[in-house]
Amino acid sequence: MQTLTLESEPITTLLQESTYRELVLRQRVNEAAQAVMVAYANGSDLDQLGANNNVSRLVAIPANNDAIPPVVAVMESDADFRLRIPQAFEALSVAGPTGAYEAHTRSAAAQARLEIYINTQRRLISPAVSMGYQKAWAVHLKAISAARLAKALPSATTIPRTIPTSPIAAALILTPRAWCAPPPKPVHATSHFAIF
């Protein structure tokens, strides 16, 4: 046992090397396991998980090769893309659940900080959008949001409005109502979600 306390002993060096190799192997296995989970995946791993759900990364700022120097496209961040991937199944619904409204609104444009007011009783969506990159893009986003939401949800009325362009924390306020016969009283509870 005293032999293992000496750094110069070959058996000590061999044990340290074997321990380090095992540590690296376990780390590689842990990283591979995290790469297949949306909550932990990054970069191309996250793109692959999005492709599994037919969701692709949005372009925040398009590329411009005519500019001097050329402008490289800025893509949606991992954090924003990570929020949209699980919502892919919500967007498939045609019955108008609030999750579908949120999914379509998030897919309207990249890097938008959204404040969404959804009133399912009147089929009214009012997203207020704020871009984190460029002030001029907020006007473009307003047009995109209205067009995409109207196309995705033709039975809903969309009222987009632009808010200040600094990145802010926003709130999603949902007022659900049960739709069955005979018409019930509206559900009185209002759900609050934070979108970051």
pLDDT, residue 49, reads 94
Contact 120, 186 (CB under 8 A): no
Q: Answer yes or no: is pLDDT of 185 > 60.
A: no
Instruction: Read off the pLDDT of each residue in 81-85 and give the average, rounded to a whole number.
Output: 89
Identify whether residues 14 and 99 lie together within a single domain. Answer: no
- pTM above 0.85? no
Which is more confidently placed, 151 or 53? 53
Residue 111's pLDDT band, with cuts at 50, 70 and 90, is low
- Tell me how many domains the chain contains: 2
- Asked whether residue 121 is assigned to any structural domain, the reply reads yes
Range of the domain at 15: 2-34
Identify whether residues 28 and 98 lie together within a single domain. Answer: no
- Asked whether residue 71 is assigned to any structural domain, the reply reads no
Q: Answer yes or no: is pLDDT of 174 > 80.
A: no
Distance CA 124, CA 149 (A): 11
- Asked whether residue 45 is assigned to any structural domain, the reply reads no
Q: Answer yes or no: is pLDDT of 165 > 60.
A: no
- Which H helix or E strand runs over 10? helix 10-34
Quote the strand ranges of 13-169, DSSP E: 59-61, 74-75, 112-119, 124-131, 157-158, 161-162
- Asked whether residue 144 is assigned to any structural domain, the reply reads yes
Contact 143, 108 (CB under 8 A): no
C-alpha distances out from residue 106 to 19, 22, 31, Å: 47, 43, 29
Q: What is the mean pLDDT of the chain?
A: 69
Q: Answer yes or no: is pLDDT of 74 > 90.
A: no
Count CA atoms within 13 Å of residue 140 on its CB side: 13
pLDDT, residue 152, reads 52
- Asked whether residue 65 is assigned to any structural domain, the reply reads no
Distance CA 86, CA 63 (A): 28
Burial of residue 76 (CB within 10 Å: 0-12, 13-18, 19+) is: buried
Contact 175, 121 (CB under 8 A): yes
Domain CATH number, residue 145 = 3.30.70
CA angle 119, 76, 136 (to 5 degrees): 75
Q: Answer yes or no: is pLDDT of 92 > 90.
A: no
Positive or negative: CA dihedral 77, 79, 80, 84: positive
